Every structure is written in C-alpha cells, then in structure tokens.
Amino acid sequence: MSLPFILFFVFALIAIGGALLLILAREPIHSALSLILVMMSLAGLYLMLGAEFVAAVQIIVYAGAIMVLFVFVIMLLNAGVEERTDYSKMAKYAGIPLGILLLLDLAHWMAHSLIGKTPANGAGSANVMVSTRDLSVQLFQKYLFPFEATSILILIAILGALVLAKRDE
Amino acid sequence: MSVVPVSYYLVLSAILFGLGVVAFVFKRNIITILMAIELMLNAVNLAFVAFARAWGQLDGLVFVFFVIVVAAAEAAVGLAIVIRIYQNRQSLNIERVNLLKF
C-alpha cells in the first residue's frame, strides 16, 4: 500500500462519508456543511490527479462562493428541521433497491469499460501537473466561443435571480 | 511510486453520483434537493478530471470549468426560486409545492 493509494482511500472515504451525512442529516445546515466536506476532499483528489488549478477553483468557487450562497439562504429563511411526510412509502420500497442497483450498475460499467482501453492507466508519470498556462491557452483559443457564451449565461442568471427575488410592489 | 488507476476515481465518481440521486429523491427540503444536484455535478466533475488524466488531454479540465459556471448560475437562480416559494408557501417542504401535481 503506497502513499497515493492511502491518500486516495482517505479522500474517498471522507467524500462518501460526507455524501452519506448529506442524506442522513435532518437540518439543512448540516447537509450544507457535509457537502463542503465532500467538495474539499474532491479538491484533494484533483490535486492527486495533477489538476492543481481545478482544485483551487473547486475550493474558491464551489466551497467558497456557491456554498456560501446556500448557507446564506438557509440562514435567511431560517430553515429548521426537515419535516417528515408519509408520502414516500413508494420511495422506501422501490427507491432504495433501485438506487442501490443504479449505483452498482454505474460502478460496474465504469470499472470495466476502461480495462484494456486506457493508455497505460494514467498517461504521463505520477508527478506531472497540468500547467495553468496550457490550460488557459486551451480555454482562450480552442474554447473561446463557449467561454464567452458562459459570460452571457452568468449575466442572464444574475438578471433572473434579481427579477425572481425582488419583492412585488 | 505506483499511481492510483483511473478506474478507482471513476468508481468513486459513480458512487457519489448514486448518492446524489438518492439524496435528490429522498430529501424533502428544497434547499437540500438543490444541494443534491450540486453533489451530482461534483461527481461528474471528478469523472471529467479522471478521464482528462487518463487520456492526457486538457479538454476535460476545460469542461469542468463550464460545469462549475453552470452550477453557479443554477444555484443563483434556484435559490431565488426557493426564496420565492418560501414567500408564497411559508414552507420549504417540497410536498407543499403541489399545484402542478396531477
């Protein structure tokens, strides 16, 4: 068991544990904090995959900006303990087995579809980092148009959020 | 020093996505349901990064940025809708939002 494997399993266990906590927590704020845990451990995994810039963006934008928005809305609406309803008998008897089935199926196919197809399981050596320079060249040359389109998307989202959250006169 | 195989990351991504689906179906709080969507997007991002690593190409990483941008836009608009629903219903329970239910 070498160091990368140990790190991988530590991060993976933290991520899965955080996701389970998100499901099991009754208070929305606990769910939000456990989701931040998942995002942090995913940032660690991105670092292990050599994507340092993506890891930084993951922490700054996801854990920093998006989750702050969630926590802010939870505080604003004073969201308390989630109500239990008796609507979801169907979910209990059909949902849990089907959910587990979906999970196993996805894991099975993802594990098996790669065997023999991946170029030597991780091209490049273990310590190669993707340089931010290469990434930005790719982003601003090959993907320039989608990049500009996302700025319009953000603008529309800002306007939409403003219009929706505005109080009626 | 051996490298963790890419399929390990993909299996982790599948597990996280499955847990996201379960959370999406089971949670009754609208904010938590939005968080479940974020969890699924995160799982997909992990798969993108793992594939980018496996094939030694940067396109997967660029797609991760686009996914993050779309997630930010979705969170902003979604939470504005949540605030609106709360003003109208005084509740965050998804069962109370049933006007369109057949």
Stretch among A102-116, B26-40, B53-67 having the lowest mean pLDDT: A102-116
Cα separation, A121 vs A114, in Å, equals 9
Which positions ≥6 away from B72 have C-beta within 8 Å?
Answer: A61, A65, A66, A154, A157
Q: Flag residues of chain A having pLDDT under 50.
A: 119-126
Cα separation, B58 vs B48, in Å, equals 10
From the list B6, B61, B66, which residue is nearest A130 (CB)?
B61
What value of ipTM does the predicted structure carry? 0.90
Cα separation, B102 vs A5, in Å, equals 51
Helix (H, G, I), strand (E, B) or coil at B93: strand
Mean pLDDT throughout B68-92? 89
- Which pLDDT value is given to residue B37? 94
Cα separation, B60 vs B49, in Å, equals 6
- Partners of A55 on chain B (C-beta within 8 Å) are none
Residue matched to tokens 């989630």 = A82
- Partners of A16 on chain B (C-beta within 8 Å) are 12, 15-16, 19
Contact status of B88 with chain A (Cβ, < 8 Å):
no
CA diameter of chain A: 65
Contact status of B2 with chain A (Cβ, < 8 Å):
yes
- Which pLDDT value is given to residue A126? 47
* Strand intervals (E) in chain B: none
- Which pLDDT value is given to residue B90? 83
Residue matched to tokens 């991760």 = B64
Helix (H, G, I), strand (E, B) or coil at B2: coil
- Which pLDDT value is given to residue A107? 73
CB spacing of B75 vs A70 below 8 angstroms:
yes
